[in-house]
Chain A
């Protein structure tokens, strides 16, 4: 047989050496020496922020007494709820156990916080336990105020054309039950968002885009009317993104009702009542209604004097420095995640950037120094515009776009690669973050 392409052992060895070098090269960063301390650190909340921080702190601190307080046994991967509510993932996709993610050497108290006294530095639980702390991290998340929508209750979700995907994995699945009937039958779909600060301001838009796409795929878009109603004057907080969404809504034939705040629903008549900018009541009919309720901090935040006194007074977010996330009046307290009173960033992406900042300042304080890391308001929203495409929007406090891959992944283009990131890489990155690895 004719053979004309010769290889030899020397070429093989050269190749193997090159391959070995490529594997060995990437950053072998030595971990900083652990700091010895007997500090008592209490973290309220074992969600994304509390868990990620706990995992990082146990690596940085030797001998610290770290206690997390969280009543919820289940950990929710909340960025997945939009996918569940569009029939793309099962509810189990977002659920794991809180204890799956916690490191050894920390204590979890499965209870709800009743009160914090920042003067004498104690946290009381509803079960009657009282903990003293040297350092406190507020990461309890937020509360969905469903009662604020008159006539609405969670048991309606999935029936009579009502959806509410924020309420959890089962409600997200029931939201898809209601939405899929709308997809099959057509009619009038009403998609809302609240007037308060909220988790992932892109999610109401994603749900609208996904149900629009579902209708198109079912060949039923012609039989449906889609209306997006929001209390704000713009479709997104970042002006350049709001303009892009306005154009996409125009392209998809999605109507808008700006300055419309959902106040009440009448499920019998299928009427939703909004107040407009002038305070007048406006009634809108619906066959499918997506409800996102007002969102606030847990009650103890209002009672403890830790919230802003002059901003978001009805919402109770922690009064922190936007760059360091340190409390403005109690330097031994930080807030991270949804409860932080900063202009943007109630997302997992924000948490990913906030946690190392709080870690840095907390550890530096224990060492008697000052931290240097700052948070610039970074947040990220893979804004799904249809099944298979998304816009990878990243921005900061100043409404600047801050693309991670400038020149490669355009933030305002509907791209498949951005969808791939949401579908494949996001949960993996989130889990790595929880473990303190990303």
Chain B
């Protein structure tokens, strides 16, 4: 591949998802991250109870992410053919796990804070 620059990557991602959906997803990821950072700063602390629940959702996020990629690409786990494939698979699972945990934690702190702490 020639000139794999940041601009090329953006152009490629825009083509994969469509310009609107790609930037909507970027915005969604940004919003969730911002909300996560907001609750961290607002509370000046991690809620360990919610954090524990969020961690319990990590395997769910991991499996969902892998399932999503497999379903979108006509693939199966049996197609894993070499070390790099295992790394990619673990990477997708890790992104799903962390993303899921952040989402769940943020939602808990934002939506159920009073109930939890009440």
Contacting pair B80 A416 (CB below 8 A):
yes
A12 to chain B, nearest CB (A): 5
Interface string of A12-31 (1 = CB under 8 A from B): 10011000000000110100
Interface string of A394-438 (1 = CB under 8 A from B): 000000000010001110011111011001110111011001011
Contact present for B11 and A432 (CB under 8 Å): yes
Counting CB contacts under 8 A, is B56 at the interface? Answer: no
Q: Does A387 contact B (CB under 8 A)?
A: yes
Could you mark each residue 208-222 of chain A with 1 if its beta carbon is under 8 Å from any beta carbon of chain B, else 0?
Answer: 000000000000000
Residues of B with C-beta under 8 A to A26: 5-7
Q: How far is the CA of A404 from the CA of B88 in the complex (A)?
A: 17
Mark the stretch among B57-65, B68-76, B94-102 that contacts chain A. Answer: B68-76
CB–CB B6/A3 < 8 A = no
Size of interface on A: residues with Cβ below 8 Å to B = 46
Question: Which A residues are CB-close (under 8 A) to B51?
Answer: 5
Q: Which of B3, B11, B73, B76 sits near A420, CB closer than 8 Å?
A: B73
Instruction: Write the chain A residue with the least CB distance to B33.
Output: A19
B90 at the interface (CB under 8 A from A): no
Most B CB atoms within 10 A — which of A2, A3, A356, A416?
A416
Of residues 28 to 48 in B, which have CB atoms within 8 Å of A's CB atoms? 37, 40-41, 43-48
B37: chain A residues at CB < 8 Å are 12, 15-16
Are A432 and B8 in contact, with the CB atoms below 8 A?
yes
19 CB-based A-B contacts, threshold 8 Å: A2-B48, A3-B48, A6-B44, A12-B37, A12-B40, A27-B7, A388-B73, A415-B81, A416-B88, A417-B88, A419-B79, A420-B69, A428-B13, A428-B15, A429-B12, A432-B8, A432-B11, A437-B11, A438-B11
The residues of B with any CB-CB pair to A shorter than 8 Å are 1-8, 11-16, 37, 40-41, 43-49, 51, 69, 72-76, 78-82, 84-85, 88-89, 116-117
